[in-house]
Chains A and B, each alone.
Chain A
Amino acid sequence: MREAIRPIPPRKSQYGIAPELVKRRLADYPDIRSVLVSDLFPETPPVIYPGPGGLEAVRRATEGAMDRLDLSMIKPGHSVNVLASHHGFTLVGGEAYAEMLRTIRQVIVKRTGCANVRLRAGVGLRFRETEEYIERFGLKADYQGRALGIAPVDEGIAIETEVGTLYGLRRAYDADWIVHAHNSDVREVHFHRQVDKVVKPFGMSYARIETRSTYHQNLGPRAANFIARAIFDAPFVQKKFAFAAFLVATPSGIVGVDADNDLYLLNDRITLFGCENYGKMMTLLGTIDQCVAVLDFPCPVPYVFSAGVIYANFVGANLDLFDLDAPLPPYTWYTEAFYGRRGPLVEEVPPLNPAVRMCLHNYAWVGYPSAFFSEHIPTVVVGEEQARLFDRDPQNLTYMKHAVVAGDTDAALAFCQKAAKTDCILVFDGAVGGVNASQSLVRNLQQAAPQVAQTVEERLLPKWLRQRGIDPDRVERFQP
């Protein structure tokens, strides 16, 4: 059995404890081993990063994808905003996304003579997160000083859409042209349900609070992402849209870059690709019947991930999150909203994944309302410093009300395994290329994978695509 994959080291951030306070990672334990995604699903596409080609492979892939683009609309005297989002910087360490952003600028400058190319990097609920990434990856210098983090409470701009006025961020749109620079990682499938996923940032990281609240409160769990399409289709946005470039990810790493002047053609390719590749891994993790889930990655609680599946999806893996016939995932904000004071208001609220017997919170950040998780899943947090950090976060003032604190990782792990009565451990540490888990769980995953692959290919994938109006025979496939 393979040794554990070394996870990305702790990161210095205002949203996490100091890296030196993270004394031990789960990958350090002898029982934690790994299995590669490519061993579980041999048909998974080859990865270009990480790999022997290094970042140069990402650069070449970006240049190759952009070769196919029409950039003739951008003139030397124009301004261009390259719109980016925070999640891309959490994939395989973030450098690949940063490299794509650098390359996009260079290609635009080279091909159009336009030098006024700015980076506008949107965020989720940690308003300085992309400021930190811009600094970490040196993007301010790469963009000649024209790089900014933008947040949903910043000055807005009204956008007239097919469904009335919605609101974007003024600084996202304060250029002649916009470039949508994102990634294909499925990530929050509980929210967007892989419906128009590539359009989502227009309703999220490029949008104001009014729009984001519309998404999460006004439209419903399977209609929500329409708000992103409404904004993207607005004449104001359409007249500025130049092209989209996407870092294409799978649960095993970066497989390429895709770009298009037509976002909806790209949308079909990415929807298909995402359902095929992430669908198998999510379905596989859904076969786990018991485990301790370990959070061990520098990002907020719901976003820590294992082979491309985030914790927020795993707590809902008792349901098929891609299946739109299911109205509510076990975790999504609509689901959370529909918990009354004595329990769910309606029977459509499904229980959280009973396989998650306990959560060992070894290392994860604040900056996302996460009390729902500790309220519903017995949670052990490592270290008083981390507990204090959560107590001081305006979004998590009650997270620790439901969790207990262990002095160190050893004690937390021993307690969790004893209390949960299982030796199965699934580590959400962003291990690149595979899953870190206990030996027992690795064996279970290896045994289950072939059947999962067959089920997804023959039964689930056709249904998912049919629900999304995608005919795989008519969609041009992404070519890594």
Chain B
Amino acid sequence: MKTVTLLAVIDVNRCTGCRTCERVCPVLAISMHDRKARVDPERCRGCGNCEQRCPEHAIVLEGRAPVLVGVDLAGMDYGRVAELCLKARLHPEQIICYCTASRADEAAAAILLGARSPEDISLATGIRTGCKVECIQPMLRLLEAAGIEPVPPPGGYQWYGKTVTAWELTAEVKAKYSARGFYFDEDLELFEKVLSSPYQGPGEGKDHA
């Protein structure tokens, strides 16, 4: 859940049509028209990727009337939500986006409601519209657990692919490197303990908005 308070605005006089902004936008809010970038305000989640990467400094973030985006878990079958999270080896209530404090259950709910890609999840929840970096793997793990094989946006840099998890490291790798201070099995044990911890249910003020 995120309250979107910013909107990317293009200075068309500076825009050279290089498409960098389009390639890095995590919600596909930017498209090219007559070799100029155009932002769809309905989709923009104010993350600033475009503003931070535009080589011409042609984009600014401006304030906008706050828009709350998020998936309301109240109407969901939480059993199904939790099942999907656990299949992805995420505790439903663990935080997966540190900027919005969004939890795995919200991303899972977005998938159950029809999200088919990281871009869909970001659009619905605001996840991956803060730092834009750290939460891509949980999103891909949840999509995989749902049996979805998303395809990266053509020509884009939004994401490339899911990577290894603690559960997939081979015994050979662990044996080879454990002596150098990597606590593979101990961390796996910690993950398993988290996964088996009971649900806490709704709290007060613990979901950022």
Contact = CB atoms under 8 A, between A and B. Distances in A.
Nearest to A344: B197
Given A220-B190, A345-B194, A392-B61, A371 B133 contact: no
Given A156-B160, A214-B163, A468-B180, A223 B187 contact: yes
Given A154-B53, A222-B186, A341-B201, A217 B138 contact: yes
B99 A327 contact: no
Interface stretch (A41-49, A83-91, A248-256, A332-340): A332-340
Contacts of B78: none
B133 A337 contact: no
Interface in A187-228: 193, 195-196, 208-214, 216-223, 225-226
Interface string B90-101: 010111101111
Interface stretch (B10-18, B29-37, B44-52, B107-115): B44-52
A213 B135 contact: yes
A336 B206 CA distance: 12
A397 B200 contact: no
A391 interface: yes
Nearest to B180: A469
A212 to B, nearest CB: 5
A327 B186 CA distance: 8
A371 B130 CA distance: 12
B179 A348 contact: no
Nearest to A125: B131
B52 A151 contact: yes
A229 B177 contact: yes
Interface stretch (A157-165, A174-182, A412-420, A428-436): A157-165
A30 interface: no
Nearest to B203: A341
B182 to A, nearest CB: 5
Given A223-B183, A340-B200, A343-B200, A153 B157 contact: yes
Contacts of B84: none
Given A392-B61, A394-B46, A336 B95 contact: yes
Residues of B in contact with A, size category? 35 or more
Contacts of B135: 213, 217
Nearest to B198: A345
Given A164-B163, A340-B203, A222 B187 contact: yes
Given A163-B173, A342-B203, A401-B208, A324 B46 contact: no
Contacts of B180: 195-196, 468-469
B91 A371 contact: no
A152 interface: yes
Contacts of A223: 166, 169, 182-184, 187
Interface of A: 125, 127-128, 151-156, 158, 162-167, 193, 195-196, 208-214, 216-223, 225-226, 229, 324, 327-328, 333, 336-343, 345-346, 348, 368-369, 371-372, 391-392, 394-398, 401, 467-469
Given A156-B157, A213-B163, A341-B203, 5 more contacts: A165-B163, A223-B184, A340-B203, A346-B197, A371-B99
29 contacts: A152-B133, A156-B160, A164-B164, A209-B136, A210-B163, A211-B163, A213-B137, A214-B164, A220-B191, A221-B187, A222-B183, A223-B183, A229-B177, A327-B187, A337-B94, A337-B95, A338-B194, A339-B206, A345-B91, A345-B194, A345-B200, A391-B5, A397-B99, A397-B130, A397-B208, A468-B180, A468-B181, A469-B179, A469-B180
